[in-house]
Every structure is written in C-alpha cells, then in structure tokens.
Amino acid sequence: MTLVRTGWGSDNPAYRQMFTSMFMPDGSDIDMRFFNEMQRISANPEDAAAFIAAGLTIDVTALAPYVQVPTLVIHRRGDAIVPFELGREIASLIPGARLLPLEGNNHVMLPNEPEVEQLNRALEDFLAGDEPVAYR
C-alpha cells in the first residue's frame, strides 16, 4: 500500500512498470505503455490505495453456496495477480458453476491473445444457455 500511495499517478515509470508487469507480463510494448498511462491518470494515490485495500478484504466464500443463477468462472492458469487455485475454489463453492480455465499469464486479457476466441465462444455459449464441452 505504501508503494501505491507513493507511486500511483506519479510520473515515475519504474513504479508503474512494476504493476504493469504483474498484470500483463506477456503484453507488448504498446500494451504496457497503455496500461502504464492508465495507472497514471486513473486515480489519485489515496483512491487507488483505498480501492486495492477494499479488494483485498472482500471474501464471498460464505455466500457462494447461496448463488442460484448460472455461473461461469473464467480464470487464467498463469495469473500472478489472482492465483488460479482461487478461481477453482470459488467455482467449486457455487452450486453448478462452470470453470473455464484459460491458458496465459496476463490478468488483463489483451485483444491479440489466442485465448480471446475461446473466451468469446464460451461467453456466447454460456449466455445462450448451451453446455460447451470445453469446460472443466
């Protein structure tokens, strides 16, 4: 949180690049520049820290068994921000939930990644109520 309060919104590219590398380690130079700039202009340091702190305190595991709607959990196997096992866990706690594991390391899916087509197809199937065979 100290790093967020110190560096978020600053002109220091080293700070921003650290977070960008975690969110999209396989991003192109253009992707990284875009994400770096988004961090710089998106929020002031205190708001960014509050947003991150709130995200770290939310725990819905006790409520997951009460979900009564079709649920698709999508998670990348190499995600460094939210480990894949946490996606698997939340899917296992929601009755009837389907887990779509996607290859890749980026937390933020980029438009040119090979998994985009798989994601789009799975979302279309899910929204149409179809039962795709690729889900595990």
Q: Within a domain: residue 10?
A: yes
Q: Which residues contact 134 (CB under 8 A, 6 or more apart)?
A: 100, 118, 122
In a shared domain, residues 35 and 83: no
Decide: helix, strand or coil at residue 74.
strand
Residue 106: how many other CB atoms lie within 10 Å? 21
**pLDDT number for residue 115:** 94
Question: Does the CA dihedral 8-9-12-17 come out positive or negative?
Answer: positive
**pLDDT number for residue 11:** 78
> Among residues 57, 78, 104, which one ends one of the domains?
57
In a shared domain, residues 25 and 52: yes
Instruction: Give which of 62, 74, 132 is closest to 103, Cα–Cα.
Output: 74
Q: Within a domain: residue 134?
A: no
In a shared domain, residues 82 and 102: yes
Q: What is the pTM of this model?
A: 0.81
Distance CA 7, CA 95 (A): 41
Residues 27-75: pLDDT tens digits? 999 999 999 888 888 888 899 999 999 989 999 999 999 999 999 999 9
**pLDDT at residue 105 tops 60:** yes
In a shared domain, residues 68 and 123: yes
What residue numbers bound the domain in which 118 lies? 64-128
pLDDT confidence band for 133 (50 / 70 / 90): very low
Residues 94-103: pLDDT tens digits? 999 999 999 9
Please tell me the total count of domains within the chain. 2
In a shared domain, residues 47 and 72: no
